[in-house]
Chains A and B, each alone.
Chain A
Amino acid sequence: MTENNLDLFASGRDEPDEAASGRADSQPVTPEDQEAPGPTVWTVSQVNRAVRKQLEQGLPNLWVSGEIANFTQQRSGHCYFTLKDDASQLRCVLFRREAARLPALPEEGMSVKVFGGLTLYEARGSYQMVVSQLELSDVEGLWKLAFERTRRKLEAEGLMDPSRKRALPRFPRRIGVVTSPTGAALRDVLSVAKRRAPWLRVVLRGSRVQGEGAGLEIAHAIRTLVAMGDVELVIVTRGGGSIEDLWGFNEEAVARAIADCPIPVISGVGHEVDVTIADLVADVRAATPSAAAEAAAPDQQAIQHLFANARRRLATGLAGQVQRRRWRLERAAEAMNRSARERVPVLRRRVEGAQNRIEALTRRRLAEGSARLAELSTAVDARSPLSTLARGYAVPLDEGRVLRTIGDFQMGSDFRLRVVDGTVPCQVSGEGAPA
């Protein structure tokens, strides 16, 4: 802190020029060079120069808080804005190099804290602060601002749509990893992969995971891995760190590389609480590198169970085949038996019924027959020659031949006469006389 020595008449004590834009280069003309008597008359340049020095020496670099107004960025990259509070305002300049270091440029109306030095821009005589650092009241505020801007932009393009998320292959054979070859994240991923799915082949494309240019390198690594690695999914991962450390994974280039990826991408950046743009655009977000590997690699224990289960179901399936057939046979046999058993009494009844009917029929027939026989017997008897003979008729027979007509009798021939109880020998004694 220099003393506030406003000695306008000091001479020959020229401090060496500092490198600041807009400063005049000419040597100061001291009042003593002037010849005329009377009050000392300064040139404008002299006055401005002196004031600049007073300002720069009188106050150290300091932090100032206020609200941003009229923020502009020139094509040169330099930023100009006004910092204000209720009663006053202060013109500020943020040069290109310092501006580029910020994750995001502030917006109109934001409350910020700036660090810098006060000076006078001599050529214009304007009082201003040259800002070297700028922060929001929340120290991470600018990072969050930049994150939000990128997130909104990519979300509007649909890169974070849930419908874009692809399912992971169930049994991958080759998985890709983009991460630092020397980091703990890779060791975690490999350890998990080895434990869960040792038949996997892991293909690594190394990349820096923080620092300037990390975002582009990560994006490039993803594209190279997809083009050359012949893998079925990609894990993009790094271990924990500050928001600044993780910043590469928030860059648009990484988001686009992930979105363009034809195979599923698992993002596992930082710890559980860290969410990056990469996490939001990826197909699966994992909380940590280990979790990413767990999502990618199937668990051999679970697979053992699957196969053991299948083995059991094979056995029960085959047993079921046999059992069902045996059961069907038994049922059929039983049905046959039951049906047979049920039929016996029925059949028996039928047989008995038939028998009865036959017997009845037979009896009736017999009775009818007897009656008929008796009838016929009587009829026969009535027509029997014996009954005729019994009635007094006789039958002349000659050697068994019946003599019927007169002509059959010859005078003096012998014949027999059959009567009811025998025959009588006879002789023809005369000629027969017609009736």
Chain B
Amino acid sequence: MSSSSEGGETVGAERSEAAAGEGLETRLKRLEAIVQALDSDAIELEQALALFEEGVAHVRGAQEILAQAELKVEELIGPGGDQTRDVAVDSDDG
């Protein structure tokens, strides 16, 4: 996620955050379905080719998600826990 205006960054961050987790699970499930279809004899060759393309796109999408991910931590503060503040994550992986 590139830094841009704060509003845009937040929206982009939210969208990519939603796409991130959802993307992985959804893509994996879809891949499973595609692979099963390709192993069966119930589809036409044209369809098999199209499914293959879609599957490859999912794999690539997942790899992008993994490559760009960055752990985000926030803390609920205030007596009711209705405010949040970001917590810095240690950069050293010791």
- Interface set of A (CB-CB < 8 Å, partner B): 170-173, 181, 187, 190-191, 193-195, 197-206, 224-225, 227-229, 300, 303-304, 306-308, 310-311, 313-315, 317-318, 320-322, 324-325
Contact = CB atoms under 8 A, between A and B. Distances in A.
A303 B87 contact: no
Contact of B52 (A194, A202, A317): A317
B71 A190 contact: yes
Given A303-B28, A320-B39, 14 more contacts: A187-B90, A194-B93, A199-B20, A203-B84, A204-B87, A225-B76, A227-B81, A228-B82, A303-B24, A307-B62, A308-B59, A310-B32, A313-B39, A325-B45
A310 B21 contact: no
A229 B76 contact: yes
9 tightest Cβ-Cβ pairs between the two chains A and B: A317-B38, A173-B21, A199-B69, A224-B81, A171-B25, A198-B69, A228-B81, A199-B20, A194-B71
B81 A229 contact: yes
Given A171-B25, A191-B93, A311-B56, A228 B72 contact: no
A306 B65 CA distance: 14
A354 B35 CA distance: 58
B11 interface: no
Contacts of A228: 76, 80-82
A173 B22 contact: yes
A181 B87 CA distance: 10
Interface in B66-82: 66, 69-76, 80-82
A172 B21 contact: yes
Contact of A173 (B17, B28, B37, B71): B17
B81 A205 contact: yes
A322 B89 CA distance: 50
Contacts of A304: 63, 66
Contacts of A325: 45
B21 A317 contact: no
B17 A317 contact: no
Interface of B: 17-18, 20-22, 24-25, 28, 31-32, 34-35, 37-39, 41, 43, 45, 48-49, 52, 55-56, 58-59, 62-63, 65-66, 69-76, 80-82, 84, 87, 89-90, 93-94
Contacts of B84: 203
Given A199-B20, A201-B17, A310 B31 contact: yes
Contacts of A173: 17-18, 20-22
Contacts, number: 134
Contacts of B49: 318
Contacts of B94: 191
Contacts of B66: 199, 300, 303-304
A15 to B, nearest CB: 52
Contacts of B31: 307, 310, 314
Given A199-B20, A314-B55, A320 B25 contact: no
Contact of A314 (B35, B43, B65): B35
A30 B57 CA distance: 105
A318 B53 CA distance: 10
Nearest to A204: B75
A314 B52 contact: yes
B87 to A, nearest CB: 6
A170 B56 contact: no
A324 B89 contact: no
Contacts of B48: 317-318, 321
A190 B55 contact: no
A190 B43 CA distance: 46
Contacts of B17: 173, 199, 201
Contacts of B38: 313-314, 317-318, 320-321
